[in-house]
Amino acid sequence: MRIPTITNTLLLCTAAVLAGCASPVLELEQQVEQQANREQLQLPELPTDLSSDTSAAVKNLLQQPLSFQSVAQVAVLNNPDFLAALAGLNISKAQLQQAGLLPNPGLSISRSRSNDGYETELEFGFDLFGLLFRHKNLAIAQQQANQQQYQLAEQLLALVAQSRLALAEAVTAQQQLTYLQQVQEAIDASAELASRMYQVGNYSALQQARAQKYAAEVKLQLAQAQQRHMQSREALYRQLGLWGSDLAVQLPQQLPDLPDAFAADPDAERQAVSQRLDLQQARVALAAKAKQLQLTQSSRFLRGLDAELAGSAQHSESRSLTLGFELPLFDHHNARLSQAQAGLQQQFYLAQAKAVNARSEVRLNQAMLAQQYDIARHYQQQLVPLAKRINQENLLRYNGMLIGVFELIADTQAQVATITGAMQALNSYHQARIRYEHSLWGAAAPVSSAQPEASAAAPAGH
């Protein structure tokens, strides 16, 4: 059977149209990979079997005590929320690939009967508007895909910061709990001694009551420390996506020491404005709005444009070309143009607001870091050494029978407040450092959910 002439013509026309609109190479800026490399982190490969078991890499990292680096790596590899967002990025890539494809042409066949016999008509149509403005639509889709890249990179930075904040809180809570357990043993022994001295008449009822009160307050402090320890552990587990046998994570004995000196970075604001992901995302969104406005302006009176080629399968000389377009009689698309202009203006001011907030966050976080450094240094260089010296002097006086058990217990209780305060001050410094470093690249990191309302303090009563 001979192929009809109209069919050959339509095939040649289709080839010509497709050759003139070849799909460009689609590339996404790998913002997520760049941020992961900056943090020296390895992004996970999503499993195809949808397994919820922790990977071998995670189990290997959990064999050693966690550090600020390893806890971030475990979170990136195992946090379900981040893995879901990473899968969403593949959706974005697929959508961008779809946007880069040419629209399929349409072909319709109609058969009619007349006095001369049957007549077969072939109609070949394609969306001319979509072809003419395909590159502009593709550029907009590219900008939207880049925005999602920035969003996921921000989520990566937030996860790293939150996991490190959770680790700092868990280590401090564990350290305070261990210390208060040791204190309770000494205080209980002192309270028992005071009770015996009261029974033999060497202690008054008031002295015995005070000793028992101190012991009871230490037990209360210990119960509160156990609660903070449990809360901080669970917050850490959530960040790392751990459960079951993986909950037996090892924590370091204490947080890293303070650096020898602290120096503010006068260039921090400029760095943040140039590199923060939320500001880069705002710039991408502004560029997308500008492209949308250009598309609206250039296609204002060309909407609904399409073309059709038609002809008879029996008579090759019978063919026609039809162009269709929208008549702008009632809707001149002024509202659509105004909406695009207002959207561009809105995005411009939103980007400005983010820049102002970014500068403020960096200034505040750097000031808070400097203050927390001074507080922690004051504890380490002044308060803790003085508390230990007072305790040593009182031990000498107690051994020389110059003071009694009551005075020794009171001094021990005061030392508890100083030591636990120093632990909390070091924790606050590291949390301030994590937030400051995060603010140079992304929006402000949230406060750790396990952070206690107040650091341990000496109970009143004497």
Evaluate whether 179 touches 423 at the Cβ level (below 8 Å).
yes
Average pLDDT over residues 72-84: 91
- For 433, what's the count of Cα atoms within 13 Å in the CB-facing half-sphere? 19
CA dist., res. 75 & res. 167, Å (int)? 11
Check residue 64 and give its pLDDT: 92
Check residue 277 and give its pLDDT: 84
Confidence tier at 25 by pLDDT (50, 70, 90): very low
Q: Is the dihedral of CA 430, 431, 432, 433 positive or negative?
A: positive
Average pLDDT over residues 67-83: 92
Alpha-carbon distances of 315 from 118, 276, 356, rounded to whole Å: 12, 66, 71
Nearest in space to 282 (alpha carbons), one of 147, 137, 142: 147
pLDDT above 60: residue 388 = yes
Kindly report, residue by residue over 271-317, the tens digit of the pLDDT: 899 888 888 888 888 888 888 888 777 776 666 666 666 555 555 56
Check residue 321 and give its pLDDT: 67
Alpha-carbon distances of 166 from 172, 227, 241, rounded to whole Å: 10, 15, 13
Radius of gyration of the chain (CA): 36
Kindly report, residue by residue over 435-460, the tens digit of the pLDDT: 999 999 887 655 554 554 444 334 44
Check residue 212 and give its pLDDT: 77
Question: What is the SS3 assignment for 457?
Answer: coil
CA dist., res. 100 & res. 123, Å (int)? 26
Nearest in space to 438 (alpha carbons), one of 354, 355, 366, 350: 366
Confidence tier at 15 by pLDDT (50, 70, 90): very low
Evaluate whether 258 touches 381 at the Cβ level (below 8 Å).
no
Check residue 13 and give its pLDDT: 46
Give the residue with greater pLDDT, 18 vs 313. 313
In the numeric block, the tokens 């040593």 are attached to 392
Evaluate whether 258 touches 427 at the Cβ level (below 8 Å).
no
CA dist., res. 159 & res. 239, Å (int)? 7
Give the residue with greater pLDDT, 211 vs 381. 381
Evaluate whether 444 touches 365 at the Cβ level (below 8 Å).
yes
pTM of the model: 0.75
Mean pLDDT of the chain: 79
Check residue 378 and give its pLDDT: 96
pLDDT above 50: residue 357 = yes
CA dist., res. 453 & res. 240, Å (int)? 23
Check residue 27 and give its pLDDT: 45
Worst-scoring range by mean pLDDT, 7-16, 120-129, 225-234, 408-417? 7-16
pLDDT above 50: residue 374 = yes
pLDDT above 90: residue 37 = no
Alpha-helical runs (H) found in 63-133: 68-78, 80-99, 128-132
Check residue 126 and give its pLDDT: 67
pLDDT above 60: residue 59 = yes
Per-position DSSP letters for 264-321, written without gaps between them: --TTHHHHHHHH-HHHHHHHHHHHHHHHHHHHHHHTTT-TT-EEEEEEESS-TT-EEE
| Percentage with pLDDT > 90 across the chain | 30
Check residue 245 and give its pLDDT: 83
For residue 450 the two structure tokens come to 């396990």
Evaluate whether 172 touches 424 at the Cβ level (below 8 Å).
yes
Residue 316 one-letter amino acid: S
CA dist., res. 105 & res. 121, Å (int)? 17
pLDDT above 90: residue 20 = no
Going by C-beta distance under 8 Å and a sequence separation of 6 or more, which residues neighbour residue 61? 70, 73, 74, 77
Check residue 50 and give its pLDDT: 66
Confidence tier at 49 by pLDDT (50, 70, 90): low
Q: Is the dihedral of CA 445, 451, 457, 460 positive or negative?
A: positive
CA dist., res. 34 & res. 27, Å (int)? 15
